[in-house]
Amino acid sequence: FFIFPVKIKYLALAAAGIALFYTVVPAEPGMAHAAHLGGMIMSWIFVRKILPGGWLRIPDVLRPSEKSEPRRAKSQPEEPKEDAAFLQNQVDAILDKITASGMKSLTKREREILESARKKMTKP
């Protein structure tokens, strides 16, 4: 498409025309031409009727504002040191909870602690 200079408006109209034609005259099984046409129509409605400022506003929407700060990866919470006494206290509390409420009451973290304790106990 970049070999011949074509305005994007005409390229979009050609794509819509092809999608409309193949929606009416199905030729390829499994190709969702009606979905493509619906996406084009909804995009046009969004930009023309919903987005304030229309087509000229799109570059501003895509550009991050100067006030926004870059996103940083969430830091993982620090794992508590797992010495024998600390681990034993955690396991005891979890076992008390199992006695009172059953296995289904455990959280994912509590299950991980139990698994960690089991691995430490079964090490040769």
Give 7's Cβ-side CA count (13 Å radius).
Answer: 3
Question: For 77-83, which contacts have Cβ atoms below 8 Å and span 24 or more sequence positions?
Answer: 82/116
> ∠ CA 101-107-110 to the nearest 5 degrees?
95
Predicted confidence (pLDDT) at residue 83 exceeds the cutoff of 80: no
User: Looking at residue 82, what is its pLDDT?
Assistant: 54
Tell me what the mean pLDDT of segment 94-105 comes to: 85
Q: What is the rounded CA–CA span in Å between residue 114 and residue 107?
A: 11
> What length is written for the chain?
124
List, for residues 40-67, the tens digit of each pLDDT value: 888 888 877 777 666 666 666 566 666 6
Give 86's Cβ-side CA count (13 Å radius).
Answer: 7
| Between residues 73 and 112, the one the model is more confident about | 112
For 57-61, 78-82, 88-92, which range has the lowest pLDDT when averaged over its residues? 78-82
Q: What is the share, in percent, of the chain residues with pLDDT greater than 70?
A: 72
User: Looking at residue 19, what is its pLDDT?
Assistant: 87
Predicted confidence (pLDDT) at residue 109 exceeds the cutoff of 80: yes
Quickly count: other Cβ atoms within 10 Å of residue 37's Cβ.
19
